[in-house]
Amino acid sequence: MRVTTKGQVTIPLALREKAGIVAGSEVEFFEEGRRLYLRKVQAVGRGEALVGQMAGRGSVGMSTDEIMKLTRGER
């Protein structure tokens, strides 16, 4: 496998399929001793990203139990 002048290489199809690497996948390189490794970065799901953005932003002065009663229609 040859490295281009831009530092690019082509990952063989069989290895991409095995690793689940598709167009747009994020990958990272890391080094251990004299070896260089490439691995797929675990993508953050939409829900996880949304929770991360919203965490700590609530301003409701209610307990979790009070909120759960409201969502269940209890009084």
Q: What is the pTM of this model?
A: 0.51
pLDDT tier for residue 39 given thresholds of 50, 70 and 90: very high
Structural domains of the chain, ranges and CATH numbers in brackets: 1-44 (2.10.260)
Q: Is 12 helix (H, G, I), strand (E, B) or coil?
A: coil
Which tokens sit at 72? 């269940």
* CA distance to 2, 44, 62, 65, 70, per residue, from 7 (Å): 9, 27, 55, 56, 57
pLDDT in tens, 6-22: 999 999 999 999 998 99
Given this model, what pLDDT does residue 60 score? 76
Average pLDDT score over the chain: 87
Share of the chain above pLDDT 90, in %: 41
